[in-house]
Amino acid sequence: MTIEELKKIIEPYIEEPIIEFVIEKKIFSTENGRKMFNKEIRKSVEKKFGVYIWLNTATNKIVYIGMAGKIKTDGTPGDHSVQNRLLASRGKNKVTKKDIQTNDYVRNYMIDNNVEKLDFYIMYSKTGEPPAFIEALLLYKYYKKNKRLPKLNNSF
C-alpha cells in the first residue's frame, strides 16, 4: 500500500496541507542528534490532533502508522498533540526499564535496519474527527491489502 493510497482514503477527515519532512540517520551520528531530531519535530509539527506515517524513503514501505489526540467522555479534546507524541516516550525498555524517547526509538530503528532516511507525513484531523478513527481506518486498509501491519505497529 502506498502513501498516496492512504492519503486518498483519509482525505475527507484531514486538513490540508499534509506536512512532509525527512529525518536522516546521519543526524544521529552527531553529539546533538537527539536534540536535532526534537528541533525538527518542533519546527515541522504543530500542537494539533492527527495521524502520522513513517515511510522508509529507499523502499517506499510504510513502517509505522500512529496517532495523537483523544476525545474525553464529555466530548472535549485531550491535550496530547502530534508534536507532543513525537517528542514523548514510546514506552519502557524491557531490559533497563527506562523510558525510550521517540528520538532514540527512531534512531535505533534506523541503525538496526540500515535505514538512511525516513519520510514523516503528518496529517491533522478536521475538527470533530477523532484521530483514533482515522488511525484505525488507515491500519484496517493497510492490513486488508497487505495481510499484516506496518513493521513497527505491534497490534491493532
Residue numbers of the domain that contains 47: 3-146
- Asked whether residue 60 is domain-assigned, the answer is yes
Helix (H, G, I), strand (E, B) or coil at 18: coil
Q: Could you read off the pLDDT of 91-105 as tens digits, one per residue?
A: 887 788 888 899 999
- Residues 73-96 have pLDDT tens digits of 888 777 789 999 999 988 887 788
Instruction: Measure the CA–CA gap between 49 and 80, rounded to whole angstroms.
Output: 8
Inside any domain, residue 88: yes
**156 in a structural domain:** no
Round to whole Å and give the CA distance between 2 and 100. Answer: 29
139 is a domain residue: yes
The pTM of this model reads: 0.93
State residue 18's pLDDT score. Answer: 95
- CA-CA-CA-CA torsion sign (105, 107, 111, 115): positive
| Residue 151 located in a structural domain | no
Domains in the chain: how many in total? Answer: 1
**Is residue 17 scored above 80 in pLDDT?**
yes
